[in-house]
Amino acid sequence: MSSKTVETLPEATVLFAGDSGDGMQLTGTQFTLATAHAMNDLATLPDFPAEIRAPVGTTYGVSGFQLHFGSVDIRTPGDEVDLLVSMNPAALVVNLDRVKAGGTILVNSNSFGKKDLSLANLDSNPLEDGSLDRFRVIQVELTRLTRETLKDTDLNQKQIDRSKNMFALGLALWLYSRPIEPAQRWLETKFARKPEIRDANLELLKKGFHFGETTEQFVTRYEVTPATLPPGRYRAVQGVQALAMGIVAAADKSGLPITYGSYPITPASDVLHALSRYKNHGIMTIQAEDEIAAVGMAIGASFGGALGITGTSGPGIALKGEAMGLAHIMELPLVIVNVQRGGPSTGLPTKTEQSDLMQALFGRNGDAPMPVIAASTPGDCFEVAYEACRIAVKYMTPVILLSDGYLANGSAPWLIPDPDSLNDFEVTFAEKANATEDGEDVFHPYIRDEKTLARPWAKPGTPNMEHRIGGLEKADGTGNVSYDAKNHEKMTRLRAEKVERVQQEMKPLEIFGDEDADLLIIGWGSTRGAIEAGVTRALNAGHKAAAVHIRWVHPLPADLGEVLSRYSTYLVPELNNGQLVRILRDEFLLPFEAMKKIQGRPFGPSEIANKIAEMVG
């Protein structure tokens, strides 16, 4: 086919970076699609600037999309970048520390003029001053080549320049031997009604692909053979999509209508966007006037016999706190989704963090515990959303679901689940009296189920079941307002005990790695991939380590204590200043060591592997 040598790699990490206007997210998404078609395992990390349209060429306007793929088990978007595609100096400056020594940097050499350099706060040109000597730099005149390719079209200069990402995409696809057809198909549908633009983009894509073939700058082309994934039908899925589909699955299996109340906030808005498209699946969405209204609407819906769900990020949870307590004392089903971002306050709105765990566990007035479930991979968001809904209804309690920006926006190949394999989701509404009072049959809304301690759910419209609930303490059984001291203690304990009983629903914990190790790593949420990949590396390097991942952060799994007793040293990596670690210390009084990363970025496997080496090496 050509004079190029082909090198087969087990895995590779590519990062597309440029200005927000350069279409890097789109380029990354299309490269991901091609990679999925090449049947590699993969993980992605989109990285957006907080500003929507920051001034062109500045470092704070840089948008990136990182993709890690391979024929091996891929658990994270990659530690170190093998190929950085950099559309301008700012993108180079921002991402240089992520490129591994000896890695390749592909730059648009037409964008390294004086002005571009000064926008990126550079005094000298990195292409000339030797600062990139550690890397293999490939200079491509992306702007000029793009203009040349499209010079005979009717597109204006701006339209032409905006298309250069397709040239870059074509080139990257060639470099890693990815199929070009998925991107071609996508362009054909996307611009079906704008043939000018469609043809220009298709032309550039092809030109970029062929450029790799003909230019002498590339002597090697790479190949990554298909991964050995469990058999079945796959698709690429983002965490937000999976979460939304988990909610649809809950509606489908339970037969309950779902009302989703939300107020837009990054990175949770996409859940609202996704669910708004699922009206024909029995999902009603309401964009409320604020987060308090959003949770109030969900509570109202649950009182009416639908399942109320509300979604937001940390700042929104802060506003919902009082209403969440109301749902707790009224004992109504409710799911509260927190797609976490960097905090406190507005913090790092577009970056990921796990710093709302304490808020989820304790962020309410009074003793108001509720089950807290955390998703660990983009695909896991599906099952976690389904389980959150199921438990909320089965135990008549609000349930908090923790996701984060990394899971929400990241994507991974997903073995499409069989709905029949999901846990049963049955709902029974109370329709009959459950007590007698002065010889009369009456309904008492706070008589509990023996196994779950859940109270009955009687929905308005059911004759003879009229009852009042509210935020005031209620008498055990009757649910009437009660200020009795002993009753308050009893009810507080009952509500907590009910939440504890969710332990009954958990599968036994699974140990990853070497069960005989002394060191156990305890993780929760989106760090799972990095921890397990790090453990794998450590094992390969001869360091013994094991890991356990916690899905239900509250209540903690019943068998966790027994699992812990089999190890002697403990590491708790978290993307926060140490939260789960405090819970564990409090609960088990063991010497848990915290591993904290608070940079708005996920852990990389090497960070975990290095830490293991330091502890057991």
Partner 1 sequence: MSDNDSNKPEGRKPTLPPGMGQPSGKKPTLPPGTGKPAGRKPTLPPGAAKPAARKPAMPPGMKPPGGAPPPGMPSGDGASGLTRADFSSDQDVRWCPGCGDYAILATVQRLMPELGVPRENLVFISGIGCSSRFPYYMNTYGMHSIHGRAPTIATGIKASRPDLDVWMITGDGDSLSIGGNHIIHIMRRNVDLQIIMFNNQIYGLTKGQYSPTSEVGKVTKSTPFGSIDHPFNPIALVLGADSAFAARTMDRDPKHMKTILKQAHEFKGTGFVEVYQNCNIFNDGAFFDFTEKATKSDRAIFFEHGKPLTYAGGTKGLRLNGFHLENIDLESGDWGVDDCLVYDETSRELATILARVYWREDLPQPFGVFYREDRPTYDAQVNDQVQSVIKRSGKGSLEDLLAEGDTWVVG
Contact residues: partner 1, CB under 8 A? 33, 36-37, 39, 182, 226, 229-236, 245, 248-249, 252, 257, 259, 261, 278-282, 284, 286, 288-290, 292-306, 308, 322-323, 326, 330, 416-417, 419, 459-472, 480-481
Which residue number, 17 or 180, has a Cβ lying nearer to partner 1?
Answer: 180
The sign of the CA dihedral 376, 382, 386, 388 is positive
Give the nearest distance from C-beta 279 to partner 1 in angstroms.
4
Choice between 230 and 542, CB closer to partner 1: 230
Nearer to partner 1 by Cβ, of 303 and 603: the residue is: 303
Helices (H), 81-124: 89-95, 114-119
Q: Which residue's CB is nearer to partner 1, number 76 or number 259? A: 259
Find the shortest distance in angstroms from Cβ 288 to partner 1: 7
Burial level of 483, CB count in 10 A (0-12/13-18/19+)?
Answer: exposed
DSSP H or E run through 35 = helix 24-37
Q: Which of 320/611 has CB closer to partner 1?
A: 320
In the complex, the smallest distance separating the C-beta of residue 29 from partner 1, rounded to whole angstroms, is 11
Please state the closest distance from residue 228 (CB atom) to partner 1, in A. 8
* Shortest spacing between CB 60 and partner 1, in angstroms: 33
Q: Which helix (DSSP H) or strand (DSSP E) does residue 486 occupy?
A: helix 485-500
Q: Which of 606, 615, 617 is nearest to 531 (CA)?
A: 606
Sign of CA dihedral 294, 295, 301, 306: positive
Between 416 and 541, whose beta carbon lies closer to partner 1?
416
Query: Closest separation between CB of residue 226 and partner 1, Å?
Result: 8
19 Cα distance to chain centroid: 24
Distance in Å, CB of 319 to partner 1, minimum: 11
The end-to-end CA distance of the chain, in Å, is 48
Contact call for residues 36 and 248 (beta carbons, < 8 A): no
**Would you call 79 exposed, middle or buried from its count of C-beta atoms within 10 A (0-12, 13-18, 19+)?**
buried
Q: Cβ closer to partner 1: 50 or 229?
A: 229
Smallest gap from Cβ 182 to partner 1, in A, equals: 7
Q: Strands 398-404, 372-374: parallel, antiparallel or unpaired by DSSP?
A: parallel
Report d(CA 151, CA 520) in Å as an integer.
61
The two structure tokens encoding residue 350 = 């577009």
Which is nearer to partner 1, 445 or 523 (by Cβ)? 445
Convert 353-364 to b/e letters by CB count within 10 Å (16 or more is b).
Answer: bbbbbebbbebb
What's the closest the beta carbon of residue 254 comes to partner 1, in angstroms? 12
Q: What is the DSSP string of 353-374?
A: --TTHHHHHH-SSSS----EEE
Token readout for 59 is 């470092």
Return the number of the residue (72 or 127) whose C-beta is nearest partner 1.
72
